[in-house]
Amino acid sequence: MITDFGGRTAVLTGAGSGFGLECARIGARLGMNLVLADVQQDALDKAQAEIEAAGAQVLARKVDVSDAQQMQLLAQAVQERFGAPHFVFNNAGVGSGGLVWENSVKDWEWVLGVNLWGVIHGVRLFTPMMLQAAKNDPSWQGHIVNTASMAGLLTPPNMGIYNVSKHAVVSLTETLYQDLRLVSEQVSASVLCPYFVPTGISQSHRNRPGELADEQPTRSQMIGQAMSDKAVGSGKITAAQVAQKVFDAVAADQFYIFSHPKALGNVHSRMEAIVQARNPPDPFIARPEIGVELKAALRAAG
């Protein structure tokens, strides 16, 4: 929980676009110091210029969050410039689809590296800094928000690699919340589970590393990409609205942050099936035409 954001420091990964950039804009309006990290240099430069023009103190770094050494250097730079951050938003993420057995080892390494290891590095590096600051000052407040997805609570088909990464982030963050409760009342955590929001994640292939950039996608991956583009493009909730939900949750110490609460009906049916030991329910029960379209496309591809 943070009751006053003015003069506080925020570390935002994936800050060049989407939720990260929108949170930086809110942070600047609130008078925060902003640490912007992104793997895409041009987007990072543009974000830095905008946030500095808004009057905020900015530390910008090009960082591959999957790289432990790069994240270590980021943490050191934050400590030297601003001290322990009050708000850490482990937000960088990439999307990837396809039938789960068709993803290559490199696909798994890339998606888990960014979506999961990026969060792991953020937690393991910044949490000790925050706890030490809290120990030194009884009035100090800190909060960590990790970006997962509704795919971290559901298991939609043809995107298993993404589901796995986001389920892991939900589990990690729930555990982080419980661990923090054991040792401090001053630092807390939340998990962000957005649904389909236009952020640029559906175009993650623009940042695929060199060894993956030249790989030809499988038929199921192309089908998944097309469906993702369509779903994200039709999203009615904006990244700016979700970013405001993040700040509201931090101020209220609210753990679960949802962009589309109506989608929780699918989560409820999944949890009921688990408790009742029933087979997994149809993930498209509310929109059966989507399941029909996906099945037809995949069988035609086969």
Report the domain count for the chain. 1
Whether residue 144 is contained in a domain is answered as: yes
Whether residue 294 is contained in a domain is answered as: no
The candidate with the shortest Cα–Cα distance to 155, out of 110, 208, 100, is 100
Whether residue 287 is contained in a domain is answered as: no
Phi, psi (5° rounding) for residue 10?
-120, 135
Q: How many residues does the chain have?
A: 302
Q: Look at strands 187-193 and 142-147 and give their pairing.
A: parallel
Q: Which pLDDT belongs to residue 177?
A: 98
- pLDDT tens per residue across span 130-151: 999 999 999 999 999 999 999 9
With 60 as the cut, is the pLDDT of residue 202 above it?
A: no
Domain that holds residue 73: 9-268
Whether residue 123 is contained in a domain is answered as: yes
Whether residue 248 is contained in a domain is answered as: yes
Judge whether 162 counts as a catalytic residue: yes
Describe the crossing of helices 18-29 and 41-53 by its angle, rounded to 10 degrees: 20
**Average pLDDT of span 235-240:** 86
With 90 as the cut, is the pLDDT of residue 184 above it?
A: yes
- Given the residues 162, 177, 195, 256, select the one marked as catalytic: 162
With 80 as the cut, is the pLDDT of residue 296 above it?
A: yes
Q: Which pLDDT belongs to residue 262?
A: 86
Q: Which pLDDT belongs to residue 205?
A: 55
25-200-209-62 Cα dihedral, nearest 10 degrees? -10
DSSP classification of residue 200: S
Whether residue 180 is contained in a domain is answered as: yes
With 90 as the cut, is the pLDDT of residue 62 above it?
A: yes
Whether residue 275 is contained in a domain is answered as: no
CATH label of the domain that carries residue 91? 3.40.50.720
Tokens of 202: 């559906």
* Whole-prediction pTM: 0.93
Q: Which residue has the tokens 């989507």?
A: 290
Whether residue 160 is contained in a domain is answered as: yes
